[in-house]
Amino acid sequence: MKKVFLVDDEIVIRENMRNCIDWNKEGFEYCGDASDGEVALPEIERLKPDILITDIKMPFMNGLELSAIVRQRLPDTKIIILSGHDEFEFARQAIRIGVEEYCLKPFGSADIIQLLRQMSTTIDLESLDKERIKQLKQRLVDKESTSRDELLASLCNGFIASAEAIERATQLGINLIARHFAVILTDIRTTDDQSLVLLDPVQQVEQTMSELLHEQIKYIDYKRSRTEKVWVLKGESAEQLQVAIDNFTGPIKDQMENTYPCSIVFGIGGIHDRLQAVHASFLQAEEDKHWRRLSGLNKHSLLDLSGGSPDQSIFLDRVGFIEFLKVGSASQADTHIRQFAKDMMAIEWKTSLYGYYLLNDLTIEVIRAARSIYRNADASGNTVQSFQKDIHSIRSWEEAFEYLKKLAEKIWQWRSESADKYGEMLEKVKAFVRSNYGNEKLSLQDAAEHVCVSPNHLSKVFSQETGQTFIEFIMETRIRKAMELLHSTNARSYEIAYQVGYQDPHYFSNLFKRITGMNIREFRKQGLSPELLRVQEGETQ
């Protein structure tokens, strides 16, 4: 029901209008009246009527003055002017103020009801229009948010080249330009299901993190899942980024876990000076998160087992042990490992699980270090589980000693195999791309399935071994083939674009010029060989 407020200095008119119209029956609420504009104004601001009916000639504040103030403060309120003066100047002022109707006295209740119905229809139509506009704006916001997340996910997963990423980001109002980049992953999980009834701890923690990070450095973020968030940090120097990372991942973890019922695991990627290397930093953050979670779970178990205060007298020089594994040999193993593990002789292996947790934690740290050095290490992801099974069977220091020798032998095996592990696989991948470049949907996933590895593993290996990302290699392959077709056929540029896997001829033309340094017409005129393909730094990055 629309609320109606009346202002008129004649009490007879106010009483007649109040009593002679069945307001509820007509679909309106008569919410109040006043004798002049000055008295009416505070009531109007309090009641916020949908329709204001006001006389012009009144003491203290006339109807036109009141209408001007109401139009400014309550722009959605519809105004009907009642006047006994048929003068053009009054009508002109009313129109200038934005009054909807100008009604001359005398008038009957039927006249007022007709005007009110017209105003009600207008209000309803405007409400519908506002709702449609609101929905359209929300759809645009949702679409922009989805496009933004898709862009950042493509950048982190290495599915898009830097030039295209920057172009798309500019269209979305995102600035991707910076001197240095680093990726941080956060995985925040609730530890109390009942807390979700009142609030979402994940959202609360992420909001606090956003505010903290915003104070230190520029960043772009997107939700990867309900518990995971990806933060792409941008800085002017590697030092600036490192300080921000340290502040972000330091005390805040304990602070948030003590404040909210949740557990937090960070994954920290390396700092790089190229936008295309965001992909490498993302993979590093993924791996770091995985190992931090494994190690964190083990440390919690160790603390529980030891009553929160593990025996500090047992010292394992983990750094020294890892350094020995990097450069040592089997002939040195007995001497070095005996010295490393001597403090573990004090453990009661048959009655205590403390030794198991020490070895488990050491194993996780050693394999993690090996994976960062030797690219073939733990390719299946099952090595940790295999070693954990061996740890469970240890019942003496001598068995622990033999276990550490076995661990060292595994690391040395990876070390010896790492020199030329991926040559054959990468050749298969390149041959696969050269055979399927015309497929517009050719992806990293397709290539990974072809050589039976995970997409993330292939992406990391391809970048490390070739010096370019998988998407860059596809792009270069397609452009080289396009150059061949431009020389050997009379096909139009859009036909060649389709043949080499691009459905958008305009994008293909722009890409061709960016990579070769000339447009298609210029290239055909000059008759250059594809071997002279010019890929300057940054043009395919």
Convert 74-102 into a string of H (helix), E (strand) and C (coil).
CCCCEEEEEECCCCHHHHHHHHHHCCCEE
For residue 356, the model assigns a pLDDT of 81
Return d(Cα 201, Cα 185) in angstroms, integer. 17
DSSP β-ladder status, 2-7 and 51-55: parallel
Condensed to tens digits (0 to 9), the pLDDT of residues 333-353 reads 899 999 999 988 888 888 777
Q: What pLDDT does 535 receive? A: 42
Residue 233 inside a domain? The answer is yes
Domain boundary among 127, 146, 177: 127
Is position 140 within any domain? no
Distance CA(459)–CA(277), nearest Å, equals 12
Structure tokens given for 403: 């276990």
The structure tokens 């071997």 sit at 531
Q: Is residue 161 domain-shared with residue 244, that is, in the same domain? A: yes
Measured between alpha carbons, how far is 473 from 437 in angstroms, rounded to an integer?
Answer: 10
CA distance linking residue 286 with residue 184, whole number of Å: 9
Domain of 47: which CATH number? 3.40.50.2300
Peptide bond into 106 cis (omega under 30): yes
**Digitized pLDDT (tens) for each residue of the chain, 541 residues in all:** 889 999 988 888 888 888 888 888 888 999 999 988 889 999 999 999 999 988 888 888 888 888 889 988 998 899 888 776 665 566 667 667 777 777 777 777 788 888 888 888 888 888 888 888 877 776 666 555 568 888 888 888 888 888 888 888 888 888 988 999 999 999 888 876 544 444 577 888 888 888 888 888 899 999 888 888 999 999 988 888 888 888 888 777 778 888 888 888 888 888 998 888 898 899 888 878 877 776 665 655 555 555 444 454 577 788 888 888 888 888 888 999 999 999 888 888 887 777 888 888 888 888 877 876 676 666 455 787 788 888 888 989 999 999 999 999 988 888 777 656 677 788 899 999 999 999 988 888 899 889 888 887 788 778 777 778 888 899 889 999 998 888 888 888 889 999 999 888 888 888 888 888 888 888 887 765 554 444 433 333 3
Same domain, 81 and 122: yes
- Asked if residue 390 and residue 341 are part of one domain, the reply reads yes
- C-alpha–C-alpha distance, residues 179 and 236, integer Å: 5
**Structural domain includes residue 300:** no
- Record the tokens describing residue 145, joined without a space: 């948010």
Q: How far apart are CA 326 and CA 411, in angstroms?
A: 8
Q: Is there a domain that residue 341 lies in? A: yes
Residue 397 is inside which H or E element, if any? helix 397-417
Contacts of 402 (CB under 8 A, 6+ apart): none
Query: Any long-range contacts for 94-103 (C-beta under 8 Å, 24+ apart)?
Result: 94/64, 94/67, 97/64, 97/67, 97/68, 97/71, 98/67, 98/71, 99/67, 99/71
Same domain, residue pair 205 and 96: no
d(CA 337, CA 340): 5
In angstroms, the CA 364 to CA 375 distance is 17
Chain centroid offset of residue 416 CA: 40
Instruction: Tell me the helices (H) and strands (E) count for the chain, helix number first.
Output: 23, 9
Checking phi first, is residue 32 left (phi over 0); if not, alpha (psi -120 to 50) or beta? Answer: left
Identify the CATH number of the domain in which residue 250 sits: 3.30.70.1130
In a domain, 415, yes or no: yes
In a domain, 537, yes or no: no
The Cα diameter of the chain in Å comes to 116
What does each C-alpha distance from 520 to 41, 83, 473, 495, 527 come to in angstroms? Answer: 71, 75, 20, 13, 11
| pLDDT tens, position by position, 74-123 | 988 998 887 766 655 666 676 677 777 777 777 777 888 888 888 888 88
The domain in which residue 363 lies consists of 311-420
Ramachandran sector of residue 438 (left: φ over 0; alpha: ψ -120 to 50; beta: rest): alpha
Q: Are residues 385 and 498 in the same domain?
A: no
Inside any domain, residue 149: no
Q: How many residues does the chain have?
A: 541
* Coil, strand or helix at 220: strand
Total domains in the fold of the chain: 4
- Same domain membership, residue 38 and residue 112: yes
Give Cα 257 distance to the centre of its chain.
22
| 400 and 442 assigned to the same domain | no
- The verdict on 99 and 170 lying in the same domain is no
Q: What span, in angstroms and rounded, lies between the C-alpha atoms of 264 and 350?
A: 34
CA distance 420 to 249: 36
Instruction: Please state, in angstroms and as integers, the Cα–Cα distance from residue 333 to each residue in 121, 346, 402, 405, 409, following that order.
Output: 90, 21, 10, 7, 9
Report the CATH number that the domain containing residue 488 is assigned in CATH.
1.10.10.60
The whole model's pTM is what?
A: 0.45
C-alpha 75/C-alpha 294 separation (Å) is 60
